[in-house]
Amino acid sequence: MDTIVRMRAFVEIVDAGGYSAAARKMGRSKALLSKYVRELEDGLGALLINRTTRQFSLTEAGALYLDSAIDLLSRLESMEESVRDSAKGLKGRLRITAPSAVSSRSFGEPFAKFACENPDLLVEVDLSDKIVDLVEDGFDVALRIGTLDSSSLIAKRLAPFKGVLVGTPEFLKNYPPINTPSDLANVPVVLDTNLRKKNNWQFVESNGGEITQTVTSIMEINSPSSCKLAALMGLGVTLIPEFTMRDEINEGKLVSLLDDYLPNSAGYYVVYANRRHVPAKVRAFVDFMTKYFKENEL
Domains of the chain and any CATH numbers: 2-87 (1.10.10.10), 89-160+266-295 (3.40.190.10), 163-261 (3.40.190.10)
- 52-56, 134-138, 150-154, 294-298, range with greatest mean pLDDT: 134-138
Going from the C-alpha of 28 to that of each of 20, 24, 41, 137, 266, the distances in angstroms are: 10, 7, 20, 38, 52
Q: What is the reported pTM?
A: 0.61
Using one digit for the tens of pLDDT, what is the confidence trace for 213-250? 999 999 999 888 899 999 999 999 999 988 888 899 99
Share of the chain above pLDDT 90, in %: 45
Q: What is the dihedral of CA 263, 215, 167, 238, to 10 degrees?
A: 70
pLDDT bracket for residue 94 (50, 70, 90): very high
Residue 85 has pLDDT above 70, yes or no: no
Residue 67 has pLDDT above 80, yes or no: yes
Return mean pLDDT, the chain: 87
Residue 1 has pLDDT above 60, yes or no: no
Residue 147 has pLDDT above 60, yes or no: yes
Task: Read off the pLDDT of each residue in 133-145 and give the average, rounded to a whole number.
Answer: 87
Using one digit for the tens of pLDDT, what is the confidence trace for 35-62? 999 999 999 999 999 876 667 789 999 9
Task: Read off the pLDDT of each residue in 1-29 and give the average, rounded to a whole number.
Answer: 88
Closest residue by Cα to residue 273 from 82, 157, 94, 139: 139
pLDDT bracket for residue 123 (50, 70, 90): very high
Task: Read off the pLDDT of each residue in 167-196 and give the average, rounded to a whole number.
Answer: 93
pLDDT bracket for residue 118 (50, 70, 90): very high
